[in-house]
Amino acid sequence: MKTTTESRSKTVTTVAARIAGEDIAKGDYVTILSEIIELPSYLWDCSGISQPIDELVRLRYLPNAAGEPHKVVAVCLPFVYAKRPKGNLIAFDTRQQQLVRLDRDNGRSLWKQMGKTTKKKTK
């Protein structure tokens, strides 16, 4: 017995994929998933044990710009240079920022839409 289902909705869900720096190429659409901040251990007062002064405490956090699409213009590891929808360039350091690759069609569409809304606001 074969079973088929019909879907009236044509919505397709895509997933952003984590990507290593060496797999990023010019023309990809990427966004920041998370960032790492390093603080000196003497500023870290959330532990019952003391740590050596020269040891860094690493924290992973979600930045406010997470989800904003960027178009990669050049890669020189560990740096990835990308263009924002607004037109200015940004440099990512893959040692401190975890990047994800956006689906090509979604990335292009979002990037164009965000660029249009920004240009309208400035006029």
Domains of the chain and any CATH numbers: 17-34+67-122 (2.30.30.60)
Asked if 115 contacts 85 with a C-beta cutoff of 8 angstroms, the reply is yes
Task: Give the phi and the psi of residue 74 in degrees, each rounded to 5.
Answer: -160, 150
Can you tell me which residue has the tokens 């406010």? 64
Q: Where are the alpha helices (DSSP H) in 2-123?
A: 104-122
**How does pLDDT run across 1-25, given as a tens digit for each residue?**
555 555 566 677 788 888 988 999 9
Contacts 24+ apart (CB under 8 A), 56-64: 60/34, 60/35, 60/36, 61/34, 61/35, 61/37, 62/33, 62/34, 62/35, 63/32, 63/34, 63/35
Residue 101 above 90 pLDDT? Answer: yes
pLDDT tier, 49 (very low <50, low <70, confident <90, very high otherwise): low
Maximum distance among all Cα pairs of the chain, rounded to whole angstroms: 69
**Stated pTM of the model:** 0.74
Asked if 17 contacts 31 with a C-beta cutoff of 8 angstroms, the reply is no
User: What span, in angstroms and rounded, lies between the C-alpha atoms of 73 and 21?
Assistant: 14
pLDDT tier, 90 (very low <50, low <70, confident <90, very high otherwise): very high
Residue 67 above 60 pLDDT? Answer: yes
